[in-house]
Amino acid sequence: MSSNQRFLALDVFRGLTICLMIIVNTSGDGSLTFAPLQHAKWNGFTPTDLVFPSFLFAVGNAMSFVMLKWEQKTRAEVLGKICKRTLIIFLLGFLMYWFPFFNNDEGHWSLSPISHTRILGVLQRIALCYFFVSLLVYFLKRKTVIVISIGLLLLYWGICFWFGDPNDPLSLLGNAGLKFDLWLMGENHLYHGEGVAFDPEGWLSTLPAIVNVVAGYFVGMHVQKSGKTYEGITKLILAGFVLVIIAYFWNFIFPINKKLWTSSFVLQTVGLDCMILGAVIYLIDMKQKTRWAGFFEIAGKNPLTVYLVSELLVTVLYMINIGDKSLFSWIYQNIFNHVGDYWSALLFAVCYMLLCWSVGYWMDKKKIYLRV
């Protein structure tokens, strides 16, 4: 399997993830969104819950190709690269939540207080997981990394029950992760989208999320060694199936929960990602069916840029008012809200995704690929 083909499958997988992420994040009306395009309210699983862990999986997958370059660099150069990339991604995530940096209170402008800015989030979790997994795979042997990964899943399981509320350790207000985040950061720095201070990308739940990246890394190594073989793809899909079965049974005592990022959720998402990536490789490299892949490849070549554009632009659309409505709501109500409630919300999300994708398309035509 050539480098270009491997990266094509990886770019397509990443592109699929980014496009779906934008669609589920920017429904025209959140109350009128099809159920599969919404996160599970608490315990349970929907296709939308697979999006973020899939991107972490893709981060690990990409790392397996970078390792060859690291072998040609000094330890100081590698550690410098890891730390620099971690800090940039984390900072971009923090600035994205702080944006637009200023508040307008009846014509009076003031700097948005950092004291009330969310610290953690999607990019921050990617940065932290990338940092720890990079160190693990660079310094430790394969078996040691696997043992540590299993240990993290079991440790997180124990922590959730040992330090959570004795009466309901896995509840929204009683989970150990929330207690730790409140103690460390205070509620002003947490996500409030659940109606209360609770961060689904908190510090404690980052521990099991590390395993999503580790799994992506080892799958990437497997793909490189197995090449274009039915045996290699079969092993990948079977491994995914086994992980999903284990997750199913673990779910009875440690429920699959995206917002807590439970260990069973990790196995469920890694298992599905193995099967999906196996299918993508089969179609692209074995069957040579690549016509459909070009669209997603474009988003996958500049995933960070496309994602940032999608998040920042929607903030701008909510900032601009037309009458008593935000520009976001005005566009939805006046242009899209004519084909039926749920379909209108979906059409808006798809069109918004295409707008963000067009930025990636322009960058690809100009051969601009932003890497950090």
Q: How far apart are CA 87 and CA 131, in angstroms?
A: 9
**Stretches in the chain below the pLDDT threshold 50:** 1-6
- Residue 372's pLDDT is 67
CB count within 10 Å of CB 3 equals 10
Q: What is the dihedral of CA 165, 166, 168, 170, to 10 degrees?
A: 60
- Residue 106's pLDDT is 63
* % of the chain residues with pLDDT over 90: 73
- Residue 107's pLDDT is 61
- Residue 323's pLDDT is 83
- Residue 91's pLDDT is 96
- Residue 105's pLDDT is 67
3-class SS letters over the chain: CCHHHHHHHHHHHHHHHHHHHHHHHCCCCHHHCCHHHCCCCCCCCCHHHHHHHHHHHHHHHHHHHHHHHHCCCCHHHHHHHHHHHHHHHHHHHHHHHHCCCEEEECCEEEECCHHHCCCCCHHHHHHHHHHHHHHHHHHCCHHHHHHHHHHHHHHHHHHHHHHCCCCCCCCCCCCHHHHHHHHHHCHHHCCCCCCCCCCCCCCCCHHHHHHHHHHHHHHHHHHHHHCCCHHHHHHHHHHHHHHHHHHHHHCCCCCCCCCCCCHHHHHHHHHHHHHHHHHHHHHHHHCCCCCCHHHHHHHHHCHHHHHHHHHHHHHHHHHCEECCEEHHHHHHHHHHCCCCHHHHHHHHHHHHHHHHHHHHHHHHHCCCCCCC
